[in-house]
């Protein structure tokens, strides 16, 4: 653990790392500094949006909490660790050679408030909210300043609220962003509405979008987002939403075209199997203790991967670990002891699979039955991929017939088929899988598509919804179902963070996908994987983290909100 700081240690390089190019002049300027006029320049200064909009926190360690607060109903919590001081920053436009006052209310041990490259203040121990305040004067050519809050290494969580930077905004930029175009509703429930729009442009850059419900600010998202979800709405109520873009200097665009939306009436969703079950893999990626994740997120189901073939037509975890007596059985027992359950995933992209190794549907059904009996399962998932199973008509039919057999022999068992997709719905092999499921009367409960690996730069929300809607249309065509019934047999299994093809499914996108799934009462929501549900911005595609900025288990927490 690092040495606890004293008053002389506040100029440590690490503490003030950030905008090295921003220099706040301490020496006298050629002209006397302008006096700041009282006006808070910060976005989301009291965190009342319920998000970190406008702020950036290191290590994904910042969050918004409802208690303890100083004013309003929200505050910032920075979970400083032994290796990260949970530094949260915001950059604003300022005027050169001008006096400003920075203040805020903080609570915790060794909490700092300051300006990167300039002055700061701190408190060693604040058991109740304490006000910190500093004044500074900008340099002769300075047009931006980065303010920061942070705790100290190993000193635990700090809290901050009602932060204020008083003074005139930067006056060099007077050009407002363009109006957000193509606003639309992308999903709704009885209490939420999800919206999207086309990004605005600005001569400097868009820093935020403000979403209004009528004339009231409903929520704010960062300038790189083109979507938002408004919560806390009333059932069966008509609303109208508009969006405005805002830049660093505080210039605001005109309002977008209004989006009229009527929330759902709150009636129960269609009956059927509903499952929020992210993948947990014990084969790599520092698998977390499932009870810890369950306690932190509220998740109840996990999709356990992968069961493959060992010595012919015998099921084993990763073709190596026995069904009973090992870490997999003890993990399933721990999940159930915590009030949850599992659905094993049989197959996957690679490895020695049961489908090709079991020579008949009856033999394959016997292998599935060993897995069902080992754990007393309520559901099984066959992840049918690659040319050895998915793109093989003989093996496709063998899997479908085997699932038909085990469903007949195990009343109440739910069967799931998971397979790849195009951005507009099932491929020709996916279409065949659905058609044969009908022709062979297999009574499959859920058809789940995996909408990722389309290629870098893909619109992951649009592509995912396009794939799901295409699947819905195919299910309607083959089975003669209406929309509601088709959605109730449909699942989505995504990939959190950075995918193999360099696509990015961020927290906001996954939230929108979850909201769309709830609004359409689909059957299943999963992602690959809980092992990767940890932050590592710029970390690439690795097995232990998502490659993006997020909080620990944030995708799992979002998924736990799927109710169908």
Residues with catalytic roles? 385
Cα(332)–Cα(327) distance, integer angstroms = 9
Q: How far apart are the first and last CA of the chain?
A: 45
CB 164 within 8 A of CB 45: yes
Cα(23)–Cα(19) distance, integer angstroms = 9
Q: Which of 483, 521, 555 is nearest to 190 (CA)?
A: 521
Find residue 491's DSSP bridge partners. Answer: 448, 524
CB 96 within 8 A of CB 137: no
Burial call 526-540: b when 16+ CB within 10 Å, e when fewer: bbbbbbbbbbbeebe
**How many CB atoms are closer than 10 A to CB 48?**
18
Cα(300)–Cα(330) distance, integer angstroms = 17
Rg (CA), the chain: 27
Cα(55)–Cα(59) distance, integer angstroms = 13
- Give CA 392 to chain center in angstroms: 35
Burial call 204-220: b when 16+ CB within 10 Å, e when fewer: bebbbbbbbbeeeebbb
Q: In what helix (H) or strand (E) does residue 329 lie, and over which residues does it extend?
A: helix 327-337
**How many CB atoms are closer than 10 A to CB 192?**
18
3-state secondary structure of 58: helix
- The two tokens of residue 345 are 């995933």
- The two tokens of residue 46 are 């009291």
CB 197 within 8 A of CB 183: yes
Q: In what helix (H) or strand (E) does residue 347 lie, and over which residues does it extend?
A: strand 341-348
Q: In what helix (H) or strand (E) does residue 314 lie, and over which residues does it extend?
A: strand 314-317
- The two tokens of residue 167 are 């003074």
- The two tokens of residue 410 are 């195990």
Burial call 356-395: b when 16+ CB within 10 Å, e when fewer: bbbeebebbbbbbbebbebbebbbbbbbbbeebbbbbeeb
Helices (H) and strands (E) counted in the chain, each on its own, are 10, 27
Cα(19)–Cα(87) distance, integer angstroms = 13
Q: In what helix (H) or strand (E) does residue 434 lie, and over which residues does it extend?
A: helix 428-439
Kindly give the pairing relationship between strand 497-498 and strand 490-495. unpaired
3-state secondary structure of 41: coil
**Tally of residues, the chain:** 564
């Amino acid at each position: 653990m690092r040495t606890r700081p004293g008053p002389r240690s506040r100029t440590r390089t690490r503490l003030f790392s950030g905008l090295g190019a921003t220099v706040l002049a301490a020496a006298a300027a050629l002209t006397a500094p302008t006096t700041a006029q009282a006006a808070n320049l910060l976005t989301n200064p009291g965190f009342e949006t319920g998000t970190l909009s406008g702020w950036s926190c290191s290590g994904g360690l910042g969050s918004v909490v409802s208690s303890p607060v100083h004013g309003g109903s929200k505050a910032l919590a920075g979970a400083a660790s032994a290796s990260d001081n949970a530094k949260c920053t915001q950059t604003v436009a300022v005027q050169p050679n001008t006096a400003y006052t920075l203040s805020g209310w903080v609570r915790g041990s060794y909490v700092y408030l300051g300006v990167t490259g300039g002055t700061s203040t701190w408190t060693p121990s604040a058991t109740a909210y304490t006000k910190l305040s500093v004044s500074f004067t900008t340099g002769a050519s300075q047009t931006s300043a980065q303010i920061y809050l942070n705790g100290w290494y190993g000193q635990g969580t700090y809290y901050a609220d009602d932060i204020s930077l008083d003074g005139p905004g930067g006056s060099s930029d007077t050009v407002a962003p363009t109006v957000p175009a193509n606003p639309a509703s992308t999903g709704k429930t009885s209490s939420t509405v999800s919206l999207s729009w086309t990004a605005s442009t600005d001569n400097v850059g868009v820093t935020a979008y403000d979403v209004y419900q009528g004339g009231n600010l409903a929520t704010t998202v960062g300038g790189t987002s083109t979507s938002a979800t408004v919560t806390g709405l009333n059932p069966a109520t008509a609303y109208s939403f508009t969006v405005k873009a805002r830049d660093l200097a505080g210039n605001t665009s005109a309002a977008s075209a209004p989006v009229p939306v009527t929330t759902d009436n709150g009636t129960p969703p269609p009956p059927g199997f509903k499952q929020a079950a992210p993948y947990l893999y014990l084969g790599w990626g520092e698998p977390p203790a499932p009870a810890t994740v369950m306690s932190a997120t509220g998740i109840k189901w996990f999709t356990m991967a992968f069961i493959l073939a060992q010595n012919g037509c015998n099921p084993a975890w990763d073709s190596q670990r026995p069904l009973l007596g090992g870490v997999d059985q003890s993990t399933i027992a721990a999940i159930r002891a915590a009030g949850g359950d599992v659905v094993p995933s049989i197959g996957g992209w690679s490895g020695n699979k049961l489908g090709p190794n079991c020579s008949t549907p009856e033999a394959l059904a016997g292998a599935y039955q060993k897995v069902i009996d080992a754990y007393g399962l309520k559901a099984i998932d066959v992840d049918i991929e690659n040319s050895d199973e998915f793109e093989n008509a003989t093996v496709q039919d063998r899997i479908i017939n085997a699932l038909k057999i085990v469903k007949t022999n195990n009343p109440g068992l739910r069967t799931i088929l998971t397979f790849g997709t195009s951005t507009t719905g099932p491929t020709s092999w996916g279409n065949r899988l659905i058609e044969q499921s009908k022709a062979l009367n297999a009574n499959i409960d859920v058809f789940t598509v995996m909408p990722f690996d389309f290629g870098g730069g893909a619109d992951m929300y649009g592509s995912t919804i396009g794939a799901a809607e295409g699947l819905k249309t195919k299910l309607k065509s083959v089975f003669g179902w209406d929309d509601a019934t088709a959605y109730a047999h449909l699942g989505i299994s995504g990939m959190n963070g950075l995918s193999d093809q360099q696509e990015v499914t961020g927290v906001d996108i996954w939230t929108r996908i979850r909201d769309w799934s709830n609004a359409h009462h689909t059957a299943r929501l999963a992602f690959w994987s809980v092992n990767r549900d940890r932050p590592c911005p710029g970390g690439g595609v690795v097995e232990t983290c998502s490659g993006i900025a997020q909080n620990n288990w944030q995708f799992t927490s979002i998924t736990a909100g799927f109710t169908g």
